[in-house]
Homo-oligomer: A and B are copies of this chain.
Amino acid sequence: MSLEPWDELRTALQVARAGTVSGAAQRLGVHHATVIRHIDGLEDRLGVKLFQRHAKGYALTEAGRMLTDGAAEAEARFDKLAARLDMLQSGIEGDLCVTTVPELCDIVLPVLSQLRADNPQLVPCLRVEERLARLEYGEAHLALRAGARPTEPDNVVQPLGALPVALFAAPAYLERRGMPRTEADLADHDVVTVEPGHARAPFDRWMEQHARHVGLHSNDRTTLLAAMRAGLGLGFAPASLQSDALVQVMPPRPDWSAELWLVTHVDLHRSPKVQAATTALKARFAALADESL
């Protein structure tokens, strides 16, 4: 007993989804007679009733549920596959989707801008998300992550080195509270940082240990930057940050640095488009590391 041909599984899945033969036929773009014949053929070959013929449509039996569950998983797998193939076949043109965390988008943005200038056919897209995008689903070509080395299977992760992180504050704040010179001076200052217990990055953990007075907690990094600009306290930011509203209070230190990772899907990381993006990003981050020396 075998459940070939696979096409009939697909129609069975659509019948299960639609609940009616006609609906499934419409979605599949075939005649409803064809759908009936597929289901009948499948049931005959399997010797099991997959659907209960109801006046209002087809209802799944236990066996039918099993089969369509399996078919649904296969369909999802094939969809992923199609998305990846779609990406693979394109040259340096069309969409290029990069995802990263909020902290890094200021650094990534110029790279994408340059990439677009060099390749007029390329339209870059920068998605900012905390979670790691499902690269195997084709949600993104590239992901830029900070922190622990990502371990997803089928993803190739390349080290981007450490991101220099420095301590910043608003000029108004420094005018009011003075410029801290040594680590000991920090005890007298307010800081803005992540919520207690949520420190993940090295600099956040450092802050958690050294901060005495907290001006503001937030789960959102952008909010923290805004709080720093508003003069609520000292805070960490990438050393490359260029802003009139914030000045560097202390230079980058190795134990503050966050490890950066460039992660792509195995099947995509050799495609020309992704290659172009990775080399550009690598160059940019190498330059950042040099600057901070």
Contact = CB atoms under 8 A, between A and B. Distances in A.
A3 interface: yes
Contact of A270 (B62, B70, B89, B270): B62
A73 B153 CA distance: 15
A84 B62 contact: no
Contacts of A89: 46-48, 63
A7 interface: yes
Interface in A61-107: 62-63, 66-67, 70, 73-74, 77-78, 80-82, 84-86, 88-89
Q: Secondary structure of the A side of the interface?
A: helix
A267 interface: yes
Question: What is the count of identical protomers in the complex?
Answer: 2
A293 interface: no
B85 A81 contact: no
B62 A81 contact: no
Nearest to A86: B1
Nearest to A29: B4
Contacts of A205: none
Contact of A85 (B67, B74, B86): B67
Interface in A34-72: 46-48, 62-63, 66-67, 70
Given A77-B73, A89-B47, A82 B6 contact: no
B88 A67 contact: no
B86 A66 contact: no
A9 interface: yes
A282 interface: no
Given A47-B89, A77-B74, A270-B62, A82 B2 contact: yes
Contacts of A46: 85, 89
Contacts of A66: 81, 84-85, 88, 267
Interface string A259-274: 0000000010010000
A47 B82 CA distance: 11
20 contacts: A2-B82, A3-B82, A4-B7, A5-B6, A6-B6, A6-B10, A7-B7, A9-B78, A46-B85, A48-B89, A63-B85, A63-B88, A63-B89, A66-B81, A66-B85, A66-B267, A70-B80, A73-B77, A74-B77, A74-B78
Interface of A: 1-7, 9-10, 46-48, 62-63, 66-67, 70, 73-74, 77-78, 80-82, 84-86, 88-89, 267, 270
